[in-house]
Amino acid sequence: MAKAKMRLGVNIDHVATLRNARNGKYPDILKTARLLKKTNVDSITVHLREDRRHIKDEDLFNLKENNYLPLNLEMAATEEMQEICLKVLPFACCIVPEKREELTTEGGLDVIKNSKKLRKLVSTLISKGIRVSLFVDPCQHQIRESQKIGTNAVEIHTGQYADAFEADKNFKHELKKIKIAAELAFKLGLECHAGHGLNFKNVLNITRIEEITELNIGHFIISQSIFDGLEMTVKKFKNILSK
Ligand code: PXP
């Protein structure tokens, strides 16, 4: 199989986290989206959480209205989120499990246990032209069930691989699980995406998995921008002070 270009979606939740730290408008979400458009990324991802800890409803509607880049909405499978998604009509929707007390999405969906509810949600969203993906662990049973309930895509949770890589543990075992899951998704006719905990180093192994066509990356890209931008910002500030 010829390797297709890997699409990159940038998750900008943590721009909103910084903004909300001061309850103001800075840093601005739409300005971030405009900048990302210039960098030629393929899409923007935001997670509207039940507790609205970062992205707010207003951000979602503003991003859709300005339409700088295709919008991928991450959300839990709840009636409230379905209603919002059907109002916004994003390009794509990634359904994720959500626990109020977690710091970030901790694991994949249990598609088998929740198949009835998910099947209904998936078919409602697809009928409105939204590309739907299910965020799942690299588990063959979950991938098979995802295909059965009619989703367009799966996004494989790479968090355990990223943790093992970071801890210098046996990440090859985790990587193998991702590879097997991606091959199965492809064989079943599903688009295969991946994300969570990816960075400059650990992403290289993932890019070698031909079946994965899209990555969604947030925390590292926003954090790394500090190291790539801090020096320039301080220089600009010192320049102002010297005048
Ligand atoms: N994909 C999904 C479904 C997620 O929930 C997240 C975290 O919001 C990501 C990708 C991005 O993970 P990270 O912020 O660790 O890059």
Give residue-wise pLDDT tens across range 194-205: 999 999 999 999
Question: Residue 1 has what pLDDT?
Answer: 55
Question: Residue 67 has what pLDDT?
Answer: 92
Q: What is the mean pLDDT of residues 33-40?
A: 97
pLDDT: is 2 or 206 the higher one?
206
CA of 197 to the centre of ligand 1 (A): 7
What phi and psi values does residue 60 have, to the nearest 5 degrees? -60, -50
Question: Residue 30 has what pLDDT?
Answer: 98
The response to whether residue 49 sits with its C-beta less than 6 Å from ligand 1 reads no
Question: Residue 4 has what pLDDT?
Answer: 67
Query: Within a 10 A sphere around the Cβ of 65, how many other Cβ atoms?
Result: 9
Name the residue of 48, 196, 199 whose CB sits within 8 Å of the most ligand 1 atoms, as the mutation to test its pocket: 196
The response to whether residue 207 sits with its C-beta less than 6 Å from ligand 1 reads no
DSSP-assigned states of every residue in 54-79: SS-HHHHHHHHHH-SS-EEEEE-S-H
DSSP label of 104:
S
- Give the lowest-confidence range in 169-173, 191-195, 219-223: 169-173
Residue 146: pLDDT band (50, 70, 90) is very high
d(CA 124, CA 168) in angstroms, rounded, equals 43
Torsion angle defined by CA atoms of residues 153, 156, 157 and 159, in that order, rounded to the nearest 10 degrees: -140
Kindly calculate the radius of gyration of the chain based on its CA atoms and give it in whole angstroms: 18
Q: Which of 222, 75, 50, 87 is nearest to 135 (CA)?
A: 75
Tens digits of per-residue pLDDT, 82-123?
999 999 999 999 999 987 777 777 789 999 999 999 999 999
Tens digits of per-residue pLDDT, 224-236?
999 999 999 999 9
Active-site positions read 47, 74, 196
Helices (H), the chain: 13-21, 29-38, 57-66, 79-88, 115-127, 140-148, 159-166, 171-187, 203-207, 219-241
- Percent share of the chain, pLDDT over 90: 92
- As beta bridge partners, residue 214 has 7, 193
Q: What is the mean pLDDT of residues 155-183?
A: 95
The tokens for 46 are 């935001």
Name the residue of 45, 166, 216, 224 whose CB sits within 8 Å of the most ligand 1 atoms, as the mutation to test its pocket: 216
Q: Please check whether residue 140 is in contact with residue 184, taking contact to mean a CB–CB distance below 8 angstroms.
A: yes
Query: Within a 10 A sphere around the Cβ of 106, how many other Cβ atoms?
Result: 14
pLDDT at 210 over 80: yes
d(CA 237, CA 225) in angstroms, rounded, equals 17
Question: Residue 5 has what pLDDT?
Answer: 82
The pTM assigned to this predicted structure is: 0.95
